[in-house]
Amino acid sequence: SSKSFGTIDTLSNAHTARKWLEKALGREKAVLNSHFIGVSTKPEKMTEWGIHPDKQLLLWDWVGGRYSLWSCIGLPIALTIGVEGFKAFLDGAHNIDQHFQTTEFSQNLPVLMGLIGVWNTNYLKLNTHAVLPYDGRLKYFTSYLQQLEMESNGKSTQRNGHKVEHNTCPIVWGEVGPNAQHAFYQLLHQGTHSVSCDFIAPIKRYNANHFTYAKTADTLIDQHLLALSNCLAQSRLLAFGNQVLNPEELEQLPAYKQYEGNQPSTTMLLKELSPRTMGKLIALYEHKVFVQSVIWDINPFDQWGVEKGKEIANELLPILNGQTAEVTHLDASTQGLIEFLLEKTDG
């Protein structure tokens, strides 16, 4: 899958897979024809690489990479959850699309999420935002949002070409809540940095009717209720600090056991985590990103920093693989690093 079919690291991975397959099955053309499917805007490049036209899936050139999972780029998703699951995924996103388009701003979830984020970033001066899902199946959701938000709105130039005069996208980070509680929640509660948070949890995770053994069902349901109680407890303490403590207890507490609170957070509860609700959740964040880009007057659909990094990598690769030894045009720092790498590689 490659929109341009020219991204060097993607093509390198594909080449590695092709070499592995050819070594196992032979170099016959039928091997490529039978075992590779391509997704791109460039059918001629896929054909040149060796993918049969019957196994090429095309997408529109205006589809941005980080917004493309709804298109045929989502083929791996459909293969994983089934075509009906993928249709439900798309339906959930469509539901939020319609909500965003037709609902007045006072009740419009992406608009409210966007406005809250702008308030936290520009008025409360919060530079980081933590996403904390209380479901292990959302382990990589924060990583997904890092690209969606920071690649879209990590910009400092407005559409009119002028520099922005305010902060734009905060640093997005996080982890599954039960793990994060034992890692960085201490900083959230009592550290010197203020962080805004999104808590995400499904209301229903386990259904006793789905289990053969009732005791197993009870144990798993109890585990989920424990996760929910932790989710609510953490957001409550972040918000209200010492107010949640017993007043009599508070009088005797030393300063290092007290909590300022007043840390902003949003708690989003899903009926359950399913392809449909996952589609809704991703669409909510996509439209939130767009709302914020409008307010900040930046373009969320380009990524020139990323593109320039790829371009420079293409310039450096021939030096590292020995095709050229010319490094005099490079800065002293990069020259020194390349010389060190080549020395160690040769050794």
Query: Where in the sequence numbering do the catalytic residues fall?
Result: 151, 182, 310
Q: What is the spatial distance between Cα 131 and Cα 281, in angstroms, rounded to a whole number?
A: 13
Give the count of beta carbons closer than 10 Å to the beta carbon of residue 29.
9
Q: What is the spatial distance between Cα 113 and Cα 15, in angstroms, rounded to a whole number?
A: 42
For the chain, the distance separating the N- and C-terminal CA atoms, rounded to the nearest angstrom, is 36
In degrees to the nearest 10, what's the CA dihedral of 226, 231, 109, 144? -90
Q: What is the spatial distance between Cα 173 and Cα 73, in angstroms, rounded to a whole number?
A: 25
| DSSP-derived 3-state class of residue 210 | helix
Q: What is the spatial distance between Cα 143 and Cα 172, in angstroms, rounded to a whole number?
A: 9
Q: Residue 331 has what DSSP assignment?
A: -
Query: What values do phi and psi take at 266, rounded to 5?
Result: -120, 135
- Residue that has been written with the tokens 């009906």 in this structure: 84
> What is the C-alpha R_g of the chain?
25
Can you say how many angstroms the Cα of residue 1 is from the centroid of all Cα atoms in its chain? Answer: 18
Beta bridge partners of 171: 128
Do the Cβ atoms of 276 and 87 come closer than 8 Å? no
Q: In what order do the strands lie in the sheet with 171-174?
A: 171-174, 128-133, 196-202, 265-270
